[in-house]
A and B are shown apart, each in its own frame.
Chain A
Amino acid sequence: MPFYFANPWGLLGLLSLPAIAAIHMYHHRYPPLLITGAHLWGAEMQVTTAGRKRERLPITASLLLELLAALIISLTLANPIYGNTGRVTHLIVVLDNSASMQAISPEGESFQQAALQKLEERVRSEERDTVLTLMTTGRRIQKLAGPVNWNEAREAIALWKPNETVHDVQPAWDRAVQLAAGQGQLLYLTDHMPEESLRPPDEMEIISVGQKLSNVGFTTARWIFDAETQQGLLFLRLANYGPQTTELTITGTVAKQELFSRKTKLSAKSTAPIEIPIPGGVGEVQIKLSAPGDALEIDNVVTLIEPKVRTVKVSLTLPEDHPAQDPVKRIIDSLADAEFTTDETSHLEIGSAGIKPGSSIREWWLGIGPMSQDESATDNAKDLLGPYLLEKQNPLLEGVVLGGVVWGGSQEWPYEVIPMVSAGATPLMGRLTGTLTTAFALNIDLARSNLTQSPDWPILLINLIEERRRSLPGLSRWNYRLNEDIQFRLYEGLADPAAEEKSSLSLVSESETKPVLRSEVVFISAQETPGVYTIKEGDQIFGKFAVNFFDPQESNLSDLTPGRRTASKKPVELFALDDPFSWLILLGSILILLFILADWFVLKPKVRSS
């Protein structure tokens, strides 16, 4: 074991030792006093031999204490290092945060536990002390702890719960390499050996604790609600990733009361959809899947929130003889969650394109041509056969192709629009500018067009209704996947109606409550834990949504294998902790103080007599 001084200059302090001895030898010599009858003085005389006199150094308590104090001061300053006590191994551990790490083997041990056991073995195998930095892979790389000793690391690991869907692990590797900076060792603990194409860092050791296991789980779960019948339908897709046919039991509970239970058989490596009717007004249902030999729990549970009906109210202001009157009515009437209204609560006005709407940020408007009923305008109107240029990015035109559609009666635009559908340089449909109203206009004369007979007509209108529905305040979706962002409109308009009340918005889960920034459109970043989340506005519940784990790749445990890859590159140096021996310095300082105090105590009579 090597022994060295971290600060050899401190050894210069050892020069004080002969200096102290010299002081005791010469400086402390008293003037002679010739006496007789030494026995009366109680002195033990020492007879020196004749010849050249060489004084013996008087070994006094004071001398010893001062020498010891000087020695310890020098050694403390020199910072002696024995062996590798001054340096430790810095092990940067990247933990695979995939949900599959929760899988439990037939022996009853999870991959997570097996990985931690490997880590402990790895730490114990080190000759010197080890400090660890723990980080997890995932969309957001998390540093669990570090640099900490093993005991602290173990406490941090106890709180770790891997539940990520499939994700890129390379950013975590890169971060680990960056952290190591050539001085630390890298270890990646996972349940499957990464492909070489991913190019794991050469200096990283990889240990895989995975093994092939059977698993069944949900891959999809939806709650569809029919506003017309007020009945719900659960659509579930189940998957069996194992090599054998498995009998599954699906149980739905509402407020801990069993709502339904189904048994089904699922052949090896197959999926099957299941539809389960569910009455309206249930609110929240938890569906569990159980099967013998199932290894992963996280994909066996799904919680769904009942969708809310968000009816879009449409006011139709078209003249009775307008050619769009019937086609519009036909479409709106067919939609369960849209209805006509005549009062001011309408969400969407459909009227004649010739009359420009007012300017209100809360209003939506669709104008349908013709732009003018004048004879001259009608005569000059163009009938177009295409080709049409569609702004495909616009959600209103999603699914619209206008194939074979004759766009008839296109007239001059009485206002400016941003084209959405054009034929050559002629805009046929566009969004109005110069108004706060979300306004669209179709420059068309349906009496001269076959648009209403084409499939594009209902698609266009339904897109508009759905777009308007999405823009309504409140949650537009209630069931999300893990790592899916949540977005909803809190209120319509520029001004927050609750601004004066200053009601805070918060997201409440089983484990915590997080504040949410108020704005017209609220954005909640993707949640990493499955469960039910409640959005509260002050003390009032604004809405509820559920987050569930669906990831066929993580649920499939049939490809997991154990393995190990040693690091091909060793770190250049060991990691040096800052001031690792502060307790030694403290001890040295205390000893120095004690020696100095003892020296003062020994010399006290001398001082008093003088």
Chain B
Amino acid sequence: MRHDPEVQNAISRYQMGLLRVPVAGQSGELLGQGTGSSLEFQEYREYMPGDDIRHLDWSAYARSDQLMIRLFREEISPRTEIVIDSSRSMQLGGEHKSLVAKQLATMFALMSGQLGGRPALFLADDRRPVEHLTIEGLNRLDDLEFSGVGDLGTILADGAIPFKRQSVRIIISDFLFPHDPDTLIRKLAAESAALWVIQLLNRFEQDPTSLGGRRLVDVETGGETDMIINQDRVQQYKERLHRLQTSLARASRRVHAPFVTLVAERGLTELCQTDLCQAGILRAE
């Protein structure tokens, strides 16, 4: 997956859209939330005992007769935590959904690596502790089987993912499990520097059509029921999905997190170019 042409193309054309987002981490290429030692001027403040006198602005002192300290933005390298939903639902609708999920995870990991960060990739499935991949172990994604039956909410509730404080968290999931969006997003955003919420769906999940009588089989719970999938049913599904997506977007907005819904069948290249860029998750170099 590391050598996937689409991934390679993406990392060559885009970088993570973290500029306007205050983050924390090691010194690096990304600007931190606090003042630091970078050359990018941020603001003035009054001198306080203990401040580095090298940052005193003498010109300002001459103009205002006050000792002013010149503050510069801190440059950091972000800690990126990518959570990929590894449940069975992520492989529904053919190989598109699972492929794009892997591509996205790989892309974000590589982008974070390029920034000097140390990305951590969590495979959210039924295993405890949750499998944790580093940038060196990205090849493991090639063999990733989406076989989990637990949902992200349960995993978070179990505290199975060891999130670090002030990390940039990227969540890739379909979010089609029963949950409360506010609670879920708050938990994901807790003590994070930044949170990106990516909902990845296949085309049928995003835009289902009438199929007539079908036996619905829940791929994770194994539950079954007979249903006539007609226009009414489809309309009702769409309304419920829309409410879910609106709730997720609203909850994300509350924690300053971008939320985007991707349809896997459109391919990584198009998704990066349109949806992810529009959401500010990526920006062209």
- Cross-chain contact B223 with A606 (CB below 8 angstroms): no
A489 to B170, CA, bound (A): 132
| A contact residues around B241 at 8 Å (CB) | 37, 40
- Residue of B220, B221, B223, B233 most packed against chain A (CB within 10 A): B223
A610 beta carbon closer than 8 Å to chain B: yes
**Residues 201-260 of B contacting A (Cβ, < 8 Å):** 205, 210-230, 233, 236-237, 240-241, 244
A31 to B215, CA, bound (A): 6
A33 beta carbon closer than 8 Å to chain B: yes
- Cross-chain contact A47 with B220 (CB below 8 angstroms): no
* Known pairs A43-B216, A45-B225; A35 contacts B240 (CB<8 A): no
A43 to B233, CA, bound (A): 10
**Residues 41-55 of A contacting B (Cβ, < 8 Å):** 41-48
Select which of B87, B176, B236 is within 8 A of A42 by beta carbon: B236
- Cross-chain contact A36 with B215 (CB below 8 angstroms): no
Closest-CB distance, A553 to chain B (whole angstroms): 90
Chain B binding surface SS class = mixed
A395 beta carbon closer than 8 Å to chain B: no
A125 beta carbon closer than 8 Å to chain B: no
B92 beta carbon closer than 8 Å to chain A: yes
B89 beta carbon closer than 8 Å to chain A: yes
- Cross-chain contact B221 with A47 (CB below 8 angstroms): yes
- Cross-chain contact B211 with A46 (CB below 8 angstroms): no
- Cross-chain contact B233 with A35 (CB below 8 angstroms): no
Closest-CB distance, B247 to chain A (whole angstroms): 12
| B contact residues around A108 at 8 Å (CB) | none
- Cross-chain contact B244 with A40 (CB below 8 angstroms): yes
| A contact residues around B244 at 8 Å (CB) | 40
Select which of A40, A43, A58, A605 is within 8 A of B176 by beta carbon: A40
Closest-CB distance, A415 to chain B (whole angstroms): 115
Select which of B210, B215, B221 is within 8 A of A609 by beta carbon: B210
- Cross-chain contact A36 with B89 (CB below 8 angstroms): yes
Instruction: Give A60's nearest chain B residue, CB to CB.
Output: B226
| A contact residues around B87 at 8 Å (CB) | 36
| A contact residues around B92 at 8 Å (CB) | 34-36
A165 to B88, CA, bound (A): 107
- Residue of B216, B222, B229, B240 most packed against chain A (CB within 10 A): B216
Instruction: Give A47's nearest chain B residue, CB to CB.
Output: B223
- Cross-chain contact A30 with B217 (CB below 8 angstroms): no
Closest-CB distance, A609 to chain B (whole angstroms): 4
Instruction: Give B93's nearest chain A residue, CB to CB.
Output: A34
A38 beta carbon closer than 8 Å to chain B: yes
- Cross-chain contact B215 with A33 (CB below 8 angstroms): yes
- Cross-chain contact B215 with A43 (CB below 8 angstroms): no
| B contact residues around A30 at 8 Å (CB) | 212-215, 226-227
Instruction: Give B240's nearest chain A residue, CB to CB.
Output: A40
A219 to B82, CA, bound (A): 133
Count of A interface residues, CB-CB < 8 Å: 27
Interface size bracket, B side = 35 or more
- Cross-chain contact A605 with B218 (CB below 8 angstroms): no
Select which of A29, A35, A610 is within 8 A of B218 by beta carbon: A35
- Cross-chain contact A610 with B221 (CB below 8 angstroms): no
A39 beta carbon closer than 8 Å to chain B: yes
Instruction: Give A41's nearest chain B residue, CB to CB.
Output: B237
B50 beta carbon closer than 8 Å to chain A: no
| A contact residues around B213 at 8 Å (CB) | 28, 30-31, 606, 609-610
- Cross-chain contact A32 with B217 (CB below 8 angstroms): yes
Select which of B174, B214, B227 is within 8 A of A36 by beta carbon: B174
Closest-CB distance, A601 to chain B (whole angstroms): 15
Select which of B178, B212, B222 is within 8 A of A39 by beta carbon: B178
**Residues 3-49 of A contacting B (Cβ, < 8 Å):** 28-48
| A contact residues around B217 at 8 Å (CB) | 32-35
Closest-CB distance, B243 to chain A (whole angstroms): 9
Closest-CB distance, A35 to chain B (whole angstroms): 5
A32 to B218, CA, bound (A): 10
Select which of B89, B176, B216, B221 is within 8 A of A33 by beta carbon: B216
B61 beta carbon closer than 8 Å to chain A: no
**Residues 165-224 of B contacting A (Cβ, < 8 Å):** 174, 176-178, 205, 210-224
Closest-CB distance, B94 to chain A (whole angstroms): 11
A34 to B211, CA, bound (A): 13
**Residues 540-575 of A contacting B (Cβ, < 8 Å):** none
A271 to B9, CA, bound (A): 146
A46 to B222, CA, bound (A): 8
| B contact residues around A43 at 8 Å (CB) | 216, 225, 227
| B contact residues around A42 at 8 Å (CB) | 233, 236-237, 240
- Cross-chain contact B225 with A36 (CB below 8 angstroms): no
A47 to B149, CA, bound (A): 14
A48 to B224, CA, bound (A): 8
* Known pairs A33-B211, A36-B176, A43-B227; A48 contacts B240 (CB<8 A): no
Q: Contact flags (1/0) for A592-610 with B, using CB distance below 8 Å?
A: 0000000000000110111
A132 to B12, CA, bound (A): 109
Closest-CB distance, B241 to chain A (whole angstroms): 6
| A contact residues around B205 at 8 Å (CB) | 36-37
Closest-CB distance, B90 to chain A (whole angstroms): 9
| A contact residues around B223 at 8 Å (CB) | 38, 45-47
| B contact residues around A608 at 8 Å (CB) | 230
| A contact residues around B216 at 8 Å (CB) | 32-33, 35, 38, 41, 43, 45
| A contact residues around B240 at 8 Å (CB) | 39-40, 42
| B contact residues around A28 at 8 Å (CB) | 213, 226
Instruction: Give B90's nearest chain A residue, CB to CB.
Output: A36
**Residues 146-196 of A contacting B (Cβ, < 8 Å):** none
| A contact residues around B229 at 8 Å (CB) | 33, 609
Instruction: Give A34's nearest chain B residue, CB to CB.
Output: B219
| A contact residues around B233 at 8 Å (CB) | 41-42
| B contact residues around A36 at 8 Å (CB) | 87-89, 92, 174, 176-177, 205, 218-220
A39 to B225, CA, bound (A): 12
* Known pairs A40-B241, A609-B230; A45 contacts B177 (CB<8 A): no
Closest-CB distance, A56 to chain B (whole angstroms): 11
A28 to B212, CA, bound (A): 12
- Cross-chain contact B221 with A45 (CB below 8 angstroms): yes
Closest-CB distance, A61 to chain B (whole angstroms): 14
Closest-CB distance, B153 to chain A (whole angstroms): 13
Give me 18 other A-B pairs in contact (C-beta within 8 A), A28-B213, A40-B237 excluded: A30-B226, A32-B215, A33-B216, A34-B219, A36-B87, A36-B220, A37-B178, A37-B205, A37-B241, A40-B244, A41-B227, A41-B237, A43-B227, A44-B225, A45-B218, A45-B225, A48-B224, A606-B213
Q: List 9 A-B contacts (CB under 8 A).
A: A30-B227, A32-B214, A33-B214, A37-B205, A40-B241, A42-B240, A47-B222, A609-B229, A610-B213
- Seen from chain B, the residues whose Cβ lies within 8 Å of a Cβ on chain A are 87-89, 92, 174, 176-178, 205, 210-230, 233, 236-237, 240-241, 244
- Seen from chain A, the residues whose Cβ lies within 8 Å of a Cβ on chain B are 28-48, 58, 605-606, 608-610
Complex A-B, nearest 9 residue pairs according to Cβ-Cβ distance, in ascending order: A45-B223, A37-B176, A36-B89, A609-B230, A30-B213, A33-B214, A30-B215, A40-B240, A43-B225
